[in-house]
Amino acid sequence: MIDDVLVKIWQSSPNQERVKFEKSRLILDVQASLDNVHKAVKYRDLLDIVSAGLVIPAFAFYVFFVPFTLSKIASGCIAFWGVYVIIRIRRAKKNKTSSFTGTYLEYLHKSRAFLIDQKELMDTVLYWAIIPMVILISMFLIGFWERPGPVINRVIALCGNVVLGMVIYVMNKWAIKKQIMPRLEKVDALISVMEMEKE
């Protein structure tokens, strides 16, 4: 009942007031959306950096204590790859908007750049994260084939490694489609509205 009254009041108001209302609603919607993305990115980055931080010393340890040559080489490469992952993730946060001060339009442009950086990071995850991970961990596991034992466990580990890479790829594509792109469209729409007002 109250909603109907509000809709009638809104419909009877002048066009200029409706535009201001729509803009205010869009601003609030975009702000809430961006806050959610920042929280999700912060959680994801923390998880990835902690994981890489654990991988680096573990595989640096294996370089000296695993007796198999191929596994030793893979361990050293995995440790360096972990450092690269941390650098790559931190570099994608250069346009983070939480500490940004300026006009709201500048904030929106910075937010847009941040979303584009995140999209590019997730779009290229196959090349800088998944393929190196699958190859290097497969090398590490294949090195253990020098040791006698049941082959089925090693085959399962190799298949699990490939499946994990596929899951990470699908999750990143889903995040781009469901989280990044809708927010990017909202930010673009709000930028257009605010730039038209400036003219």
163-191 mean pLDDT: 92
Q: For 158-176, give one letter per residue: b (16+ CB within 10 A) or e.
A: eeebeeebeebbeebeebb
70 pLDDT band, cuts 50/70/90, is: very high
Q: Which of 3-17, 125-139, 172-186 has the lowest mean pLDDT?
A: 3-17
What is the pTM assigned to this prediction?
0.78
Confidence at 101, pLDDT banded by 50, 70, 90: low
* Average pLDDT, integer, range 150-160: 87
3-state secondary structure 133-181: HHHHHHHHHHHHHHCCCCHHHHHHHHHHHHHHHHHHHHHHHHHHHHHHH
Q: How many CB atoms lie within 10 A of CB 80?
A: 15
Q: Which residue has the higher pLDDT, 193 or 90?
A: 90
pLDDT average, residue stretch 132-145: 92
**Is the pLDDT assigned to residue 173 strictly greater than 90?**
yes
| Owner of token pair 């940004």 | 100
Kindly state the average pLDDT of the residues 16-24.
53
